[in-house]
Amino acid sequence: MKNKTAIVVGAGILGLATARALAIRGFAVTVIEKSQFSLGASVRNFGMLWPVGQPEGKLYNRALRTKEIWLDYLTASNTPYNPCGSLHLAYCKEEMEVVEEIGGLFQSNKRPVSVISKEVVMNQYQGINPDGLLGALRSEDEVIIDPREGIKNLPPFLSEKFGINFIWGTAITKVESNTAYSGSNSYAADLICICSGADFETLFPELFKQQPIQKTKLQMMRFKHKDPSFKIGASVCGGLSLLHYKSFAASTAQEQLRKKIEAEMPEYLKNGIHVMVSQNNEGELTVGDSHEYGLDFDPFDRVEINTLILDYLKKFMHIDQWEMIQSWNGVYPIMMNGATDLYLNPAPGIHILNGIGGHGMTMSFGFAEEIINTL
């Protein structure tokens, strides 16, 4: 019996995850990507697998499933990764109250976390500023991948393991039931999945306008340490991240921290800034980020945003030996109604997976698997 066929439009992480999920379900899959390789939001990020940021239940379980799939692929393909876990540092009593409360809640839910003292932080991790440090939330769940390498190696791995076909440098300009068009060329399939990030707007402009969806621009930087042997030992976040991730909303103490930051650092909230640093296996340090919301953006980085990020970074990291080697921005779609993702079925055989926001690395494999398993 002939396999059913599927086309996936877009070779970012969500498209690749969808292609994998379809192949496992027995589809003969072709991925069509307008660029010569993946170069969008999927490679312009921290490379963090970040279960600690996901609230209990469905989303945390989705993050763990995504991590499981990532680790299977990374191990099989000999792609390096850093299972370093994470630290959320506390430098004031409001931050420490959130850390302690969340630590207790997470432990009661059997998450691999602990609340550790300043002394433990300073003994076990490098480069952290001790001045004013009260303690930290330590989580073992988090993993760092260099997204440039991880995403680059994924298509050939999927081709070899699942027989997935890739067509690069081909822009899909129209999609109808069972057919995708690139100019005068057409590609037929039993099922078509649109996983093209912000490009969803170009294929279904009216449908895009009907959704509570916007685009988000973020700014990031990459550094190297003058000492090539320098290793932080974890991905490290400041107190602003205790407001950013939905998992921390379970803390009743979070509101007092928000009020403090609103009063003392309104420019950070205005620009959607929370500050964290990850370190890949090459020792490079990725720092960010900011969140600017709209439908279109100035393509140029704003120096004042990077300055705010670095000023805050200095409060919890010693960076005098760091040298900037890259800076960039990325754009991805995000749901503005509190939803964590978007799935649409606008016509028979057409499925749109989108709106996963800044959680593509952490959530895509699990999300794609959930959707495809329901079809």
pLDDT in tens, 183-221: 999 999 999 999 987 678 889 999 988 999 888 899 999
343 HSE (CA, 13 A, CB side): 12
Q: 174 near 181, Cβ under 8 Å?
A: yes
Indicate where the chain has its CATH 3.50.50.60 domain(s).
Answer: 5-46+148-211+338-374
In the predicted structure, residue 263 carries a pLDDT above the cut 90: yes
- Let me know if domain 86-140+213-335 sits in CATH 2.60.120.10: no
pLDDT over 60 at 1, yes or no: no
Write out the residue limits of the CATH 3.30.9.10 domain(s) in the chain: 86-140+213-335
Options 3.40.50.12280, 1.10.3720.10, 3.40.50.880, 3.50.50.60; CATH of 5-46+148-211+338-374: 3.50.50.60
Q: What whole-number distance in Å separates Cα of residue 186 and Cα of residue 164?
A: 18
For 19-77, how does the pLDDT look when each residue is reduced to its tens digit (9 = 90+)? 999 999 999 999 999 988 776 667 778 889 999 999 999 999 999 999 999 999 999 99
**Tens digits of per-residue pLDDT, 269-301?**
999 999 999 999 899 999 999 999 888 888 899
pTM of the predicted structure, to 2 decimals = 0.95
Residue found by looking up tokens 């900037």 in the block? 324
Per-residue pLDDT, 295: 80
Output the 3-class SS for 320-374.
CCEEEEEEEEEEEEEECCCCCCEEEEEECCEEEEECEHHHHHHHHHHHHHHHHHH
